[in-house]
Structure formats: structure tokens, C-alpha cells
Chains A and B, each alone.
Chain A
Amino acid sequence: MFNSDLMKRLSDCFGPSGREKRIREMIIDEIKNFADEITIDPLGNLIARKKGTGKKILFSAHMDQIGLIITHVDEKGFLRFANVGGLNAKELLGLRMVFDNGLEGVICQEELKDKEKLTTGKLFLDVASTDKEFIVNNFRVGDMCVFKSEYYETKDCVICKAADDRIGCYVLIEALKNHPKTNNDVYYVFSVQEEVGCRGAKTAGYNINPDLAIAVDVTATGDAPDGIKMDVKLGNGAAIKLMDKSIITHTEVKDLLTDIAEKNNIKYQYEILEFGGTDAGPIHTSRDGVPSGVISIPTRNLHTSGEIFNKFDVEECIKLVIGTTAK
């Protein structure tokens, strides 16, 4: 059964890269009765451990979402910003943004001589106030904001912001809650700052030094008219990544995941992504190397305020994570 309430709370929770405090606290609250040990490392990664004497397995899903950072506040309520994570100017125009304190703004553009040359520097956030004191007291250089958008679901799919990678966090939370009987020493890592370069994963990977690492993140699909050519489709199950720009999945990990999926009747599909990377990137090259792979949740419309995934795929991903833990 898909836990819509949990996913909605995960999606709505404020947590752009580097400001993951709220989402971390929310997740701790959710999992505190299920983990043997909870630690937070210097970068802010949340590590929930289920102790064991067997192999060390690390699962990683990132808590952070993309957003904007305010670089200039003028007294008229026009804020300048830079992006936090992958976003470009054309995608931002007209969007509604929300700050940690609940205040909102709309992204507008300067007068442009050449409409094609729209850059982030030509945009500004209008926070809808003519009260100078209000503006100066509530908005500071360094504040961050994220998309404002509503969670919505149909019978089989969900539209929400930050499915990347709150749906990965959802998968790990559900897997942890249903942690199987096993000797393995399992680390559920909710990592920070993936969107700005998989930074949390680097230190978590070094610190834990596992025998096997699996990142749980979203991937694109090829089943929409948006021009992306991939074999991955919504509803076709958990995607087992073969390659992206950050990792070529170890053959033995690919075989392991395939084997677990087949033996447990989990629907799966193979995935090759021509662009992008995940936490598995820095983890698999840490120290003298870590055999690694990625379980992906197929998602359309990535890095927008309305990412779309399929609930069945999510269930299959959870089963695959649990299956891996048990092996």
C-alpha cells in the first residue's frame, strides 16, 4: 500500500542542498524507532544503522532538493538569486517559490533586448511587498527557496516536487521499517548535497567503507514525447541502472540485483542514462573501490515543480532493496 501521507510530507518538507536540517529532522522522527543507531556526520548526512556481523551494505538516497539562493536583496522587494543544483533560466520564469519561513515570491524577468539570451542574472524574485521594513527583516542574502507546488495523485501515479530524491528517501524509510532478518550490517544513508555534486556521498562512502553500495535515486524515462530516448517506462518496475555519467555498474552487482529480482518475482527493467550521476559515483571510487549499483525510480519531468512517478515502480524498488539486504 502506497503511503501517500508520508510521501506528501517528504515532498513538502523544505531542504535544498546545504540546508537539509528540516528534512533530516523529519526523517529521524519517522525512523527513530526502527534503527539500532542513528548518527549525523560533519556534512549532515543522516546514517541509520541496523547492526549485523555479516557483510556491510550501504544504501543511499539524498535528502536535498534543488532550489535558489538569494544573492542580493533590494529594498523594493526584488531579490536576485543563483541556482542551487541543476536549473536553468528558461525553466524558472514565472515559477512560484517558497522560503523556509513560508513566505513566497514569483520569478520575473528584466527587460530583455534579445529574448533568446535569458540567463539567471536577468531574472529576479518579486516577493510582493511594498513595505521596506518587512522586506529587510524577512529576506537576507544567503536565504534559500524551493518550488512551491501541490502534491497530487491519481490511482497509479503521483505528481509532486522533489520526487528527486524524496521518493528515494521514501523507499529507504519503508525498507528500513520492513528490515528483514539478516546478519548483514546495513547502513541506510540519507545523504546531503547530492544535487550540487554528490558531496555527502563522498564522505559517507569513505567513512562507512562498505562491501556493497546501492544508491536509490530517480531516473528519466523514454515514454513521453519530450524527446528523451530511453527504454525505461513508468509502470515497468524497478530500474536497475547499467550506466550513467558517474558509474558503470559492476557486472557482479548487476547480476546480483537481477538475480534477486527474478527470484522474488520483482518486476524490473534495465536503465542506461546518457547524462547525470548519483551518489553511487563517489562511493564506488572511494578508498580502493566499492562494488556498487543503483536502483532507480523511473520519473518524468525531472528537475521541475511537477515530477511524475508510478506507485507500482516504487513498491518494486522497496522489494528490491529489502531483497538485497536479505541476501
Chain B
Amino acid sequence: MFLNELTKLSGVSGCEFEVRNYIKSKLSEMGCPFYVDKLGNIIAHNKGKKNKTIMVSAHMDEVGLIVTNIDNDGFIKFKAVGGIDQRVLNSKVVVIGENNIPGVIGSKAVHLMTEKERGGSLPIDKLYIDIGTSTKEETEKLVNIGDYAAFKGDYVEFGDNMIKAKALDNRVGCSIILEILKEKLDADFYGVFTVMEEVGLRGAETAAYQLEPDLGIVLEGTVCADMPKVEEHESSTLIGKGAVLSLMDNATVYDINLVRSVAKIAEDNNIAYQYRRSTSGANDAGVIHKAKKGAKVVSISVPCRYIHSSVSVASKNDLMSALKLTKQVIIEKQKGE
């Protein structure tokens, strides 16, 4: 199962090598033609019945950290790459650079904290990674300015068909595309694995420029805040209630007729779906729909709790729903309107 392996790989925005190499090898195994463009996007082509150019995309990158400085005692200073709440960094394990050097982000012993400090978190510029060295020279042998650090976390199946792993945003999307490519549908589409979505939708912009799609289907892991003390109208999506259809976010106002037609496809095929009830955030659809002469876009997402942390959680049922729905949409849209 692709998701298990994908979530073990490091792929911080701007350094997606491990994820890209894994996906390339899987595509080769499947015999699916692909190329890698100038920014590092993988563009795979599933040949089949073609009515229009369809681009199905998911980003390979995850949020993480980048090394900015090594101090005189060998501790490593960093900045966040993508949106990270500094509170999720307390007491964590990370892996740095090409060689995945392990490090920890710790926190002062509670015994030594004042009343005010307890429960609080330091801003990112006051945090550092410890790889177990004691001098600058020792650290510099293993780590350089510009190296990336990714969360380390295991893939665990738990509860009622639930998954916990890091980077479910957006390895869920990547795994769905791989699963569909494996099926070799008789419906033409480009499976695009984009880079740097988390830091400005960069890869999708050049990918869309090359493909000039008529329709973009963007797969994502999306925000789900259905927790105690959060009001229903503030949760955005709910775990277990199915594939998520976006109506509007910061970068895209989705064509309502297109969205309702996808909802109908879900209903006709008994696939559970829900609407994304928040307009915050943005995804690759934002740049795909405005590329060159413009394109129609739709976003199909999997709800993920604790997104952008090392313990993101999703339901296998929702993953299945998103996969089935995406497949059906591709087939339907290549049948011709």
C-alpha cells in the first residue's frame, strides 16, 4: 500500500527528492510513461479515451524546517518551511539532510520553569535542534546551512479504520493518484505530482502552464477540526463523513455547477461525500485555474485531523471514498458532456 511507504519519506517543500524517487520507481514498475520538469514536478500520462485534457494533481511536499545557522555549541537554528504552529515542535524527533541525521527539538525541564512559562511555547527563532554534538565543527561535518529537516513519525493503523502518520497532507493525494494509475483506466489523464505547494503553489503553476488542462482535479489532505469544544460550524470537515468537496478557499472560487455535478457522481455511485465548510487556506487549484487561458477546477480532499504536525490522523474510509470518487469523475468527464 503506497500510503504506508510514502509517509515514511522526507519531502520538505523544495527538497522532495526521496518522495520523487519513490514515485518514479513505482511509475516505472507500472510501466506508466512520465517525465520530470524543470522544477521537479513529475508528470505521468495515463493514456485512454480522451475528450478533454484532464490534470489530476497532488503535491509531494510536506511542511518542515530548514537549517539557517549552527551556533558555537553545535546547536542548529532553523526556520519553518510552510505553515507550522510552533507548539507542535515541542519534544519532537526530526531527520536532517540527505543522510537523515537524527535530531531532537527539546524543551527546558519543567522543574526549572516559572509559573508563567509552563504550558507556553517558544517562538521558532528561539528553538533549536540537537544532534548530540558539542562543538560547531562537529556539527558542520554532518549538517549544512540550507539542509532540510523533516518530522519523523511512524505509520500506524488504529481505532476504527483510522491512520496516524506524518505528512498525510498530502501523501494521501499522491497515494490516490498512484492507485488510479495502477488500474490503467481507459480514460485519459495526466497524473501530476507537484512540488512546493506548501510554500506558494509553485510547482503546480509551471505544470499547468505545460499541460494547459481543460479540467484540473486537485487531491488534498484538508483541515478537520471535529474535536471537543470546537463548534460544528467551525470544524470545516468531519472524519468519516466522506470525500471533501471544496466550494471556495483563499485562492479559488469553485464553479458551483461543476462541484454539484461531482456531488451527483458521488450520489449516483453511493460514495460518501461532504462539503468543505471553511474558506481559509489554498491549494494547487488556485494557480491551475488561472494558468494561460484558464481552466475549470475541482478539489477532492481527505479530512485530516492535526494537519501540519507529525501526528496527522485520517480515516481509511474517507481515503477510499476520495479514491473512488476521483476515479469516477475522470471516467465521467472523459465520456463527454
Binding site for B on A (CB under 8 A): 17-19, 41-45, 69, 71-72, 74, 80, 82, 84, 121, 141-142, 193, 196-197, 199-200, 202-203, 206-207
Binding site for A on B (CB under 8 A): 214, 232-234, 247-248, 251, 253-256, 259, 275, 277-279, 289-296
Cβ contacts A to B, 16 pairs, < 8 Å: A17-B253, A18-B253, A42-B293, A42-B294, A44-B255, A71-B278, A74-B233, A80-B233, A84-B248, A141-B275, A142-B248, A199-B253, A200-B294, A207-B292, A207-B293, A207-B294
CB distance from B246 to the nearest CB of A (A): 10
Q: A44-B255, A142-B256, A203-B291 given. 16 additional CB < 8 A pairs?
A: A18-B248, A18-B253, A18-B255, A43-B289, A45-B294, A71-B233, A74-B232, A74-B233, A82-B248, A141-B275, A141-B277, A142-B247, A193-B253, A203-B290, A203-B294, A206-B292
CB-defined contacts of A72 to chain B, threshold 8 Å: 232-233, 277
CB-defined contacts of A43 to chain B, threshold 8 Å: 289-290, 294
CB pair B278–A82 under 8 Å, yes or no, is: yes
Q: A18-B248, A84-B253 are in contact. Are A202 and B233 (CB under 8 A)?
A: no
Q: A18-B254, A43-B289, A199-B290 are in contact. Are A82 and B279 (CB under 8 A)?
A: yes
CB pair A19–B256 under 8 Å, yes or no, is: yes
Q: In the bound complex, how far is the Cα of B293 from the Cα of A141, in angstroms?
A: 29
CB-defined contacts of B255 to chain A, threshold 8 Å: 18, 44
CB-defined contacts of A121 to chain B, threshold 8 Å: 234
CB pair B253–A196 under 8 Å, yes or no, is: yes
Q: A74-B233, A82-B248, A141-B277 are in contact. Are A203 and B253 (CB under 8 A)?
A: no
CB-defined contacts of A199 to chain B, threshold 8 Å: 253, 289-290
CB pair A203–B233 under 8 Å, yes or no, is: no
The 9 A-B residue pairs with the shortest CB-CB distance, nearest first, are: A18-B253, A203-B294, A72-B233, A42-B294, A82-B279, A142-B247, A43-B294, A80-B233, A71-B277
B215 nearest in chain A by CB position: A42
Q: In the bound complex, how far is the Cα of B128 from the Cα of A113, in angstroms?
A: 39
CB-defined contacts of B277 to chain A, threshold 8 Å: 71-72, 80, 141
A202 nearest in chain B by CB position: B290
CB-defined contacts of A82 to chain B, threshold 8 Å: 248, 278-279
Query: Which among A42, A44, A206 has the highest number of chain B CB atoms within 10 Å?
Result: A42
Q: In the bound complex, how far is the Cα of B295 from the Cα of A200, in angstroms?
A: 11
CB-defined contacts of B290 to chain A, threshold 8 Å: 43, 199, 202-203
Q: In the bound complex, how far is the Cα of B237 from the Cα of A197, in angstroms?
A: 26
CB-defined contacts of B253 to chain A, threshold 8 Å: 17-19, 84, 193, 196, 199
CB pair B293–A41 under 8 Å, yes or no, is: yes
Q: In the bound complex, how far is the Cα of B67 from the Cα of A239, in angstroms?
A: 51
Q: In the bound complex, how far is the Cα of B280 from the Cα of A69, in angstroms?
A: 12
CB pair B247–A69 under 8 Å, yes or no, is: yes
Q: In the bound complex, how far is the Cα of B247 from the Cα of A72, in angstroms?
A: 12
Q: In the bound complex, how far is the Cα of B248 from the Cα of A74, in angstroms?
A: 20
Query: Which among A17, A121, A199 has the highest number of chain B CB atoms within 10 Å?
Result: A199
B278 nearest in chain A by CB position: A71
CB-defined contacts of B251 to chain A, threshold 8 Å: 197
A18 nearest in chain B by CB position: B253
CB pair B233–A141 under 8 Å, yes or no, is: no
CB-defined contacts of B233 to chain A, threshold 8 Å: 71-72, 74, 80
CB pair B292–A69 under 8 Å, yes or no, is: no
Q: A18-B255, A121-B234, A196-B253 are in contact. Are A141 and B294 (CB under 8 A)?
A: no
B293 nearest in chain A by CB position: A207
CB pair B293–A206 under 8 Å, yes or no, is: yes
Q: In the bound complex, how far is the Cα of B253 from the Cα of A299, in angstroms?
A: 27
Partner of A42, one of B248, B259, B275, B295: B295
CB pair B247–A203 under 8 Å, yes or no, is: no
B292 nearest in chain A by CB position: A206
Q: A71-B278, A141-B277 are in contact. Are A42 and B256 (CB under 8 A)?
A: no
CB pair A42–B296 under 8 Å, yes or no, is: yes
Q: In the bound complex, how far is the Cα of B214 from the Cα of A199, in angstroms?
A: 17
Q: In the bound complex, how far is the Cα of B278 from the Cα of A76, in angstroms?
A: 20
CB distance from A75 to the nearest CB of B (A): 12
CB distance from B292 to the nearest CB of A (A): 6
Q: In the bound complex, how far is the Cα of B251 from the Cα of A82, in angstroms?
A: 14
Q: In the bound complex, how far is the Cα of B254 from the Cα of A197, in angstroms?
A: 14
CB distance from B273 to the nearest CB of A (A): 12
CB distance from B252 to the nearest CB of A (A): 8
CB distance from B245 to the nearest CB of A (A): 9
B296 nearest in chain A by CB position: A42
CB-defined contacts of B296 to chain A, threshold 8 Å: 42
CB-defined contacts of A42 to chain B, threshold 8 Å: 214, 293-296
